[in-house]
Amino acid sequence: MIEITDKSKCCGCSACSQKCPKNCIEMKKDKEGFLYPVVNKDVCIDCGMCEKVCPVLRSEPEKKFTQTAYLVQNKNQEILGQSTSGGAFTAIAENIIERGGVVFGAAFDDDFNVFHTYAENANDLRKFRNSKYVQSDIRGAYKDVLRFLKEGRAVLFSGTPCQAEGLYRYLGKKYDNLIIIDTVCRAVPSPELWKRYLDYRKKDSSEKPVYAAFRDKYRYGYQYSQMHIKFDSGRDYYSGVESDPYLRAFFNNLCDRPSCHECAFKKRYRISDITVWDCFNVSLIDKSMDNNRGVTRMLVHSEAGEKLVSTLKNVQLVAIDPDVAVNRSKELVKPTEKNQRRDEFFSDFESMEMEQLIKKWFPDRMKVKLERFTRKFLARTGLYRIAKKTARKVVGKD
Ligand SMILES: Cc1cc2nc3c(=O)[nH]c(=O)nc-3n(C[C@H](O)[C@H](O)[C@H](O)COP(=O)(O)OP(=O)(O)OC[C@H]3O[C@@H](n4cnc5c(N)ncnc54)[C@H](O)[C@@H]3O)c2cc1C
Ligand code: SF4
Ligand code: SF4
Ligand code: SF4
Q: Which of 388, 50, 49, 333 is nearest to 220 (CA)?
A: 388
Task: For residues 297 and 309, give the distance between their C-alpha atoms in angstroms, rounded to a whole number.
Answer: 13
| Ordered DSSP codes for 194-254 | HHHHHHHHSSSTT--EEEEEEEE-TTT-STT-EEEEEETTS-EEEE-TTT-HHHHHHHTTS
40 in Cβ contact with 272 (< 8 Å): no
Note the pLDDT of residue 385: 77
Q: Which of 141, 184, 209 is nearest to 299 (CA)?
A: 184
Task: For residues 208 and 239, give the distance between their C-alpha atoms in angstroms, rounded to a whole number.
Answer: 18
Ligand 4 within 6 A of CB of 259: yes
**What is the mean pLDDT of the segment spanning 281-299?**
94
Give the Å distance between the CA of 298 and the centre of ligand 3. 27
> Strand 236-239 to strand 226-231: parallel, antiparallel, or no bridges (unpaired)?
antiparallel
**What is the mean pLDDT of the segment spanning 376-386?**
84
Give the Å distance between the CA of 189 and the centre of ligand 1. 13
Question: At 271, which amino acid appears?
Answer: I
Note the pLDDT of residue 398: 66
For residue 392, pLDDT beyond 80: no
**What is the mean pLDDT of the segment spanning 280-287?**
91
- Indicate the pLDDT class of residue 59, thresholds 50, 70 and 90: confident
Question: At 7, which amino acid appears?
Answer: K
**What is the mean pLDDT of the segment spanning 47-53?**
97
Ligand 1 within 6 A of CB of 133: yes
Note the pLDDT of residue 391: 78
**What is the mean pLDDT of the segment spanning 296-301?**
98
- CA 36 to centroid of chain Cα atoms: 19
Task: For residues 229 and 235, give the distance between their C-alpha atoms in angstroms, rounded to a whole number.
Answer: 8
Note the pLDDT of residue 397: 67
Ligand 1 within 6 A of CB of 105: yes
Give the Å distance between the CA of 40 and the centre of ligand 2. 9
Ligand nearest to the CA of 187: 4
Q: Which of 255, 262, 116, 106 is nearest to 189 (CA)?
A: 255
State the alpha helices, DSSP H only, in the chain: 15-19, 49-53, 77-82, 88-98, 141-150, 161-171, 191-201, 245-251, 303-310, 322-326, 330-333, 342-351, 354-361, 366-380, 384-394
**What is the mean pLDDT of the segment spanning 96-123?**
98
Task: For residues 356 and 351, give the distance between their C-alpha atoms in angstroms, rounded to a whole number.
Answer: 10
Q: What is the dihedral of CA 80, 217, 249, 31, to 10 degrees?
A: -50
Note the pLDDT of residue 386: 80
Query: CB-side exposure of 109: number of CA atoms within 13 Å?
Result: 12
Question: Which residues are within 8 A (CB) of 305 and not within 5 positions of it... i.e. 6 or more apart?
Answer: 179, 273, 274
Note the pLDDT of residue 241: 94
SS3 assignment for 276-294: EEECCCHHHCCHHHCCCCC
**What is the mean pLDDT of the segment spanning 37-59?**
96
Percentage of the chain modeled with pLDDT above 70? 99
Task: For residues 45 and 25, give the distance between their C-alpha atoms in angstroms, rounded to a whole number.
Answer: 12
- Indicate the pLDDT class of residue 382, thresholds 50, 70 and 90: confident
**What is the mean pLDDT of the segment spanning 357-371?**
96
**What is the mean pLDDT of the segment spanning 30-49?**
97
Task: For residues 29 and 38, give the distance between their C-alpha atoms in angstroms, rounded to a whole number.
Answer: 10
Domains and CATH numbers, the chain: 7-53 (3.30.70.20), 60-363 (no CATH)
For residue 175, pLDDT beyond 80: yes
| Distances from the Cα of 137 to the Cα of 121, 326, 366, angstroms | 22, 29, 38
Q: Which of 308, 271, 270, 293 is nearest to 70 (CA)?
A: 308
More confident residue, 225 or 24: 24
Q: What is the phi/psi pair of residue 332, to 5°?
A: -75, -35
Question: Which residues are within 8 A (CB) of 206 and not within 5 positions of it... i.e. 6 or more apart?
Answer: none
**5-30: per-residue pLDDT in tens?**
999 999 999 999 999 999 999 999 99
Q: Which of 164, 84, 94, 87 is nearest to 132 (CA)?
A: 84
* Number of neighbouring beta carbons within 10 Å of residue 65: 8
Give the Å distance between the CA of 51 and the centre of ligand 2. 8
Ligand 4 within 6 A of CB of 87: no
**What is the mean pLDDT of the segment spanning 225-230?**
96
Q: What is the DSSP letter of 44?
A: -
Cα–Cα–Cα angle for 45, 51, 56, nearest 5°?
Answer: 160
Ligand 2 within 6 A of CB of 24: yes
Mean pLDDT score of the chain: 95
Give the Å distance between the CA of 188 and the centre of ligand 4. 7
Q: Which of 330, 342, 358 is nearest to 252 (CA)?
A: 342
177 in Cβ contact with 155 (< 8 Å): yes
